[in-house]
Amino acid sequence: MFKHSPGILRISLGQAVASRPLPVYRRLFGLSSARVLSTHSTFRPFRQSFLLLSTPCTRRTLSLGSIFSRSKPEPTPSPHVVALITRLEAEANVHPHDVSKQLALYEALADTKLRSSYELIVSRWEKMCEFDPSSPLLKSDEAFKLYLTCLRNLDQTSAINDAVRRRDELLAMQTGTVASVNSDSTSSAEAPTSESITSSPSSPQTVSTSGVSSSQSLAQEVLSKSTGPVSAPPPSHSVLDAFKPRSYNGENIQAAPIQVTIVERKGAWVPRLVRFLVLVVVSSFFFLVILSVFFENTGFMKAGPRQSQFEPSEGKTVLFNDVHGVDEAKEELQDVVAFLKDPTAFASLGGKLPKGVLLTGPPGTGKTLLARAVAGEAGVPFFFASGSDFEEMFVGVGAKRVRELFAAARKKEPAIIFIDELDAVGGKRSSRDQQYMKQTLNQLLVEMDGFQQTEGVIVIAATNFPESLDQALVRPGRFDRIIAVPLPDVRGRVQILQHHLKGVVVGKDVDPKILARATPGFSGADLQNMVNQAAIQASKLHAKEVDLRHFEWARDRILMGAERKSQYIDEKAKLATAYHEGGHALVALYTDGAMPLHKVTCVPRGHALGMTSQLPEDDRHSVSLKEYLAEIDVSMGGRVAEELIYGPQNVTSGASSDIRKATRTAQAMVKHWGFSKLGPVYYDDRDESTSPKRKEEIEEEVTKLVRGGEARATALLTAKINELHLLARALVDHETLNLEEVKKVIKGEPIKNITEVLEEDISNVESASA
């Protein structure tokens, strides 16, 4: 049955069962070969066989269940106890049939009250029963009681019944009497209670006068000290029945199949639950991604057909009569209208109309309105799309939407496609860009280049940054007609104001020409906003009509920001702000080439504590060197005024925006306009080829221009120091002064105080409401 060679132990389970028809206790399968070999009667144990007791914990593997079930490691026995047990173990191994020595080792192990000691007692007893069933130790009730007590302490009370039955059978075999095994399979699987133990068979040598064997009595005694209920394994899982022999004559012995019950450790479900949750989350993520891509590309589960995303825009029809201030752009677009109305007229004479029209200009100049006017004049469907509408989080969606837009326009031809903010999708390509970033632009190029000359679909696009567009997009054959839509001039502003004032009740003192001259640089959208703001302000004041004061208030609100009169500012800070703004005003008033002063205030507006507003007398199309120098002087006037009044150590940070403006003007003069000793040379801000020496020279010239402006402002304000004091006190008293009032103040002439102004405003409101 055993083949023993140096360092190798082979056990044939089938031979073991066939040659020894005894029930093999299930703990034998949980022991390693080393431990089986170390306790065999024919094998000399190692000197370190009791090393298990000298370690704090008997587990050799770390599991989550051990962490939750055991908070503290087992205490280590004292060296004296370890030495004693080692000596007793050596004597017990030398004399395996000496009951006294074996019992002394058992008692010494049990006295340590360690789990590892209990496990060693159980292991030695079970190996003795398996490999040396004739040992006299089997007849020792004290040793058997210690064995049962260890089973109870190890929470293995369900194995006590099997242990009692096995001892009784081995004792019966020693006396030559073969004890019959109970044929009722359910009785062998019952819990080891006193009733089940009483019903166990016993040999005459182990049966007491009351019909209960000594093993059963010991089991009852041990179980009576157990505190918890004892649960028996189910009948089908009885290890004893699995190894129950059919006969004891040594012939035709067959073992029943082995049934093993695996008891999981505490907390073993936690790693499985974590793995399950991680698998569910990862699988769900990939499933949702694939599902969303499928829905996006197929249009499944969407209301209506996929093509409905691009439909002709509905709304009020816009004509060229509704567009003002851009007469030249309207004239160029008249050709497009004529082509859409009658394409054959151009084709018969061999003329070819541009495939695309690009409208460029600042925001608010009417580019979108012009495109709608072309569609309204021609009476064709108008398809509107923004440059950002094509982009999506998924690759390829932009190109697909471009195809859908042009397919929808072809079905409605003749039609107009208007793409606003074209720079969002038509920016310049680079070799360093990823391929998916170019797909939308490439598809747009293909769609525009695939048109027939008389197809009847015109593409109109608008952008504020034409220089950022890809060259392949604006080449002849695609956007081959570029129309500039600039800010309106005086005549254009007059036309725009007249158009927007048609629906507003205005006073007799309101003249569109005056308003147009007072609003240089305003776009069509700004003028519309000004008219609307003036009407709202008049309604709030319960006025019967919108007069010039309301328009002036709306203009100042657009230029300077909304007033924040509710913000508390102490007199000291208010006076410092007045000196700062007074310095700006005086430099703007007395510097040759400066833009005319419009209004100065020390009332917080927008994000500023005060503001000085300048307005040109007419539209400025070009600026001279003298005007740029004057602009730098005016920007430095506020800081210089603070330094003259409060000293260099008390200059505040309120001039940060002025310094930034002066520096940017000086940089543009040096790098872009050639207003320096470096000459008429252009230096790009992003040009990396500029040498370090040249950069130093540029910085020196910028500093020189700003310092020169500061010096000129210092000289002027030093000479006008008295006028600066007068203007600052007037600003503190009146808060806001226009150009005429500033001139009166510096001359010492009286002006209306704030009380008179408020009384006049109240009387005007009362007279208007009456």
DSSP assignment of 173-210: HHTT--PPPPS-HHHHTS-S-HHHHHTS---TTTB-TT
Q: What is the rounded distance in angstroms from the CA atom of residue 155 to the CA atom of residue 115?
A: 11
List, edge to edge, every strand of the sheet that includes 597-601.
611-614, 597-601, 736-738
Q: What is the rounded distance in angstroms from the CA atom of residue 175 to the CA atom of residue 136?
A: 12
In the beta sheet, which residues pair with residue 360?
463, 484
In the beta sheet, which residues pair with residue 415?
457
CB 617 within 8 A of CB 598: no
Q: How many helices (H) and strands (E) does the chain have?
A: 29, 10
Q: What is the rounded distance in angstroms from the CA atom of residue 713 to the CA atom of residue 644?
A: 11
* Main-chain dihedrals φ then ψ at residue 386, nearest 5 degrees: -95, 155
The three-state (H, E, C) secondary structure of 245-289, written as one string: CCCCCCCCCCCCCCCCCCCCCCCCHHHHHHHHHHHHHHHHHHHHH
Q: What is the rounded distance in angstroms from the CA atom of residue 708 to the CA atom of residue 706?
A: 5
Please choose, from the candidates 643, 655, 559, the residue with its C-alpha nearest in 3D space to the C-alpha of residue 605: 559
Alpha carbons within 13 A on the beta-carbon side of 703: 6
Tokens of 366: 């009417």
CB 374 within 8 A of CB 460: yes
CB 425 within 8 A of CB 438: no
Residues in CB range of 222: below 8 A, 6 or more apart: 145, 148, 149, 152, 160
545 part of the active site: no
Q: What is the rounded distance in angstroms from the CA atom of residue 117 to the CA atom of residue 48?
A: 15
**CB pairs under 8 A, 24+ apart, for 28-32?**
28/126, 28/127, 28/130, 29/260, 31/123, 31/127
Q: What is the rounded distance in angstroms from the CA atom of residue 431 to the CA atom of residue 450?
A: 25
Please choose, from the candidates 703, 623, 691, 700, the residue with its C-alpha nearest in 3D space to the C-alpha of residue 663: 703
Residues in CB range of 159: below 8 A, 6 or more apart: 25, 26, 27, 151, 192
Residue with tokens 């009847």: 456
Which one is catalytic: 581, 631, 642, 741?
581
Q: What is the rounded distance in angstroms from the CA atom of residue 644 to the CA atom of residue 714?
A: 8
Residues of 31-48 as b/e, b for ≥16 C-beta within 10 angstroms? eeeeebbbbbeeeebeee
Residue with tokens 């002394």: 104
The C-alpha R_g of the chain, in whole angstroms, comes to: 52
CB 361 within 8 A of CB 492: no
Q: Count Cβ atoms below 10 Å from residue 673 Cβ, excluding itself.
A: 14
Tokens of 525: 């959208």
Q: What is the rounded distance in angstroms from the CA atom of residue 715 to the CA atom of residue 730?
A: 23
Residue 260 amino acid letter: V
* Main-chain dihedrals φ then ψ at residue 620, nearest 5 degrees: -100, 120
Kindly state the helix (H) or strand (E) to which residue 370 belongs, with its residue range.
Answer: helix 367-378
Name the CA dihedral angle for 667, 671, 672, 674, rounded to a multiple of 10 degrees.
110
The catalytic site residues sit at 581
